[in-house]
Amino acid sequence: MLFLYKAVTREVSAAQSSSEALDFTIALRVKAMCGRFNLIDSSEVRSLCDALGVEIPGSCISQDIAPGSRIAIIHENLVGRDKHRKVSEATWWLLLERKTLKPNYRYASFNSRSDKLHKLRGISYVPYRESRCIIPASAFVENLGDKKIYHMIELAGSAIAFGGLYMEYRDRQTGERVHSASIITLPPLSPQWDKIHPKSMPLILDLKDDHLISKWLDLDFKDVGQFARLLEPRVHSAMRITRIGKPNLWNPIEDAFTIAS
């Protein structure tokens, strides 16, 4: 099922008018994980594309991507009776303003917390069941929470496949379909993650698990109980961690270390 504009805005309006309005997003003032990532043209990204049978447009390649930016999402698309994978551009912010289709900055919905995915009134409830996606990345940045300590995280020898959610809005003037997306976040991996981000970590899918990837992207697969193990924090591929200075510059200031899988 695709989320066209009217369906989305009815759901969002109902949630915003309830006492549980904050259940489906993280208040903007809260320190959320993965507030920055990049996607560069590399052999690792090309291998990801080959594995998923897609091609990422040059417009989505960027050395620095912040919330609210345009990103690439890999999802399944229905054409007639046939389903195929495609890459769409999306706004990295799940909840958009109804009139402008720009990010609703009242709530920081660039991440979707795993403990909110089963909240019936939550904005991520239906997308988790009907419009999951993969958000490709080369690396991402985490802040310890003190606005001073930042780390760049990469996978050893592989691009990153974030587990994401997307929504589809309809531009009332042009009829154009506009996508928005968020990255699912998990509880932190302790103790390995304690000095990187002690509150959460992103969901990273294992690209080597073809069966899992197929189910994750399948528009018709609704049995999300089978994804329960995915929502437990783990490292399935070795991570290369490098402390950096300013997050928008990605400048290393210490030697890298590794978190083993």
Q: Quick one: pLDDT at residue 66? A: 95
E strand map for the chain = 26-27, 36-39, 62-65, 70-79, 82-91, 107-108, 111-113, 132-137, 139-143, 150-155, 160-170, 177-186, 201-202, 239-244, 257-259
pLDDT beyond 80 at 6: no
- The rounded distance, in Å, linking the Cα atoms of 124 and 112 is 7
Phi, then psi, of 182 in degrees rounded to 5: -145, 160
- Residue 207 sits in a domain whose CATH number is 3.90.1680.10
Tokens 């609703």 label which residue? 104
pLDDT beyond 90 at 240: yes
pLDDT tens per residue across span 107-139:
889 999 999 999 999 999 999 999 999 999 999
pLDDT beyond 80 at 9: no
How many domains does one find in the chain? 1
Mean pLDDT of 88-117: 95
pLDDT beyond 60 at 253: yes
Q: Quick one: pLDDT at residue 34? A: 62
- For residue 198, whether the previous peptide bond is cis, meaning omega lies within 30 degrees of 0, is no
- The rounded distance, in Å, linking the Cα atoms of 92 and 90 is 6
> What average pLDDT does the structure give for the chain?
87
Share of the chain above pLDDT 90, in %: 75
pLDDT tens per residue across span 178-198:
999 999 999 988 899 999 998
pLDDT beyond 90 at 203: yes
What domain range is 176 assigned to? 5-259
pLDDT tens per residue across span 39-87:
999 999 999 999 999 999 999 999 999 999 999 999 999 887 889 999 9
pLDDT beyond 80 at 13: no
